[in-house]
Amino acid sequence: MTVNTINIVADIGGTNLRIAMIDELGNTQNLKTYQCSEYPSLRSVIDDYFELFSINGSKQNVNACLAIACPVDQDLIDMTNLPWSFSKAKLKADLSFNKLYMINDYTAIAWSINSLDEWQKYKVGGGEVVNHKPIAICGPGTGLGVANVIWGNDQWISVGGEGGHSDYAPINDVEVAILNYLKEKYSRVSYEQLLSGLGIEQIYQALCHYRDVDTNNFDAAEISNRAIEKTCDICLETMEQFCKTLGSFAGNLALTTASFGGVYIAGGIVPRFLEFFEESGFRRRFEAKGRFTHFNAKIPTFVITESQPGLIGASAFLIQQNKNEALCL
C-alpha cells in the first residue's frame, strides 16, 4: 500500500450497510452505518460516504472490497432482499476505483473466522476444534447466509454458497404443519423462510394457525422479547422452534462438510438472546442425526458475537489481494 492509497471495505446486508476505511493492518477507521431502505441505490450510499470523508476516486488511488448479501459471480448484481441492482463494471468506472472486489457477505464472514479472538465468539455445547479441518458458517438475519472455509495449499480458502435456499425438511408433526402452512404462501419452502427475521414471524403465524389461537401482528423483535420474558406461550414456542430448526440446519452443514473445525452461527439475530439460545434445543437438534449423532457430537458450535465480522473478513480479503498484487510487481 502506498501513502496515497485509500482502502475501502463495506458489509452490505438487506437492512444495514456498514462502510469504513482500513489501514495496512486491517484496522477500521471512519466506520459509518447506513439504513439501506433510506437510499435508492448502492451508488448513492457510497457517494454520501465519499463526500463525508472527502474521497475522490479520480484523484486518489482507491481500492475497495464490498461484501454483499447476494450472488456476485455475474457483472449484474441483483440483491436478494433489497431492490438494488447495478453493474460491477459500471460502479467501478463511475466511482473511479483502482480495484473493486465484490464478494458474498458470507464469504467475508468466512474470511473473518480465523481472526476472531475468544471474546468475539461464544461456544454452545460440546466438541473441540480440530485444526485445519473444514469450518461451516450459517447466519439468520434478513436472509439466511451460508459459507464454508477449507484448508488447502497451506492456506485457508473461503467457499461461498447459497445453502440458505435449500429445501426445508421437517422432522415431526409440528414442523410438517409449519411446512404445510408456508406451502399456502410459497410454491417452494426453503430454510430461509424459517431462519430469518421474516422466518420468526412466519413460524409464529404458522403455530397460531396450528394451535388455533388468534394471531397478533407481532414483528420478530416483539416475538423474541415476549419469548424471553415468557409472557406469551406461542412466542416462546416460536423461538424454541426457531432454535431447533437452526440446530437441524447447522447439523446438516456439519455432516455435509465434516466441519470438525467448528460450525459458526453468524447474523444479527442469535447474539441478541444468547442465554435463551444456549438453553434451547439448538444443540440437541444439531447432534440428533440418527446413526451419525456421535459424529456431530464431536463438532463444536459457536455464536459469533463480534458485531462487524463482515468488515473484518472484507478487510482480510482486501489486504490479501493487495499483498498478492505487490508480489506480482
Residues 285, 287, 291, CA angle at the centre, nearest 5°? Answer: 115
In angstroms, the CA 284 to CA 247 distance is: 7
With beta carbons less than 8 A apart as the criterion, state whether 258 and 151 touch. no
Q: Annotation-wise, does 89 bind a ligand?
A: no
Q: Annotation-wise, does 214 bind a ligand?
A: no
Burial class (CB in 10 A: 0-12, 13-18, 19+), 297: middle
Q: Give the Å distances, CA to CA, from 42 to 16, 217, 256, 309.
A: 11, 31, 35, 20
Which amino acid, residue 36?
Answer: C
Q: Annotation-wise, does 258 bind a ligand?
A: no
Instruction: Enter the C-alpha cell of residue 260.
Output: 470438525
Q: Annotation-wise, does 290 bind a ligand?
A: no
Which amino acid, residue 221?
Answer: A
Q: Annotation-wise, does 33 bind a ligand?
A: no
Q: Buried b / exposed e across 108-127, counting CB within 10 Å, b at 16+? A: bbbbbbeebeeebbbebbeb
Residue 326: CB atoms within 10 A of its CB come to: 9
**Which residue in 46, 56, 68 sits closest to 311, CA to CA?**
68
Q: Annotation-wise, does 256 bind a ligand?
A: no
Q: Give the Å distances, CA to CA, from 289 to 251, 264, 296.
A: 8, 18, 8
Q: Which residues are annotated as a binding site for ATP?
A: 10-15
Q: Which residues are annotated as a binding site?
A: 10-15
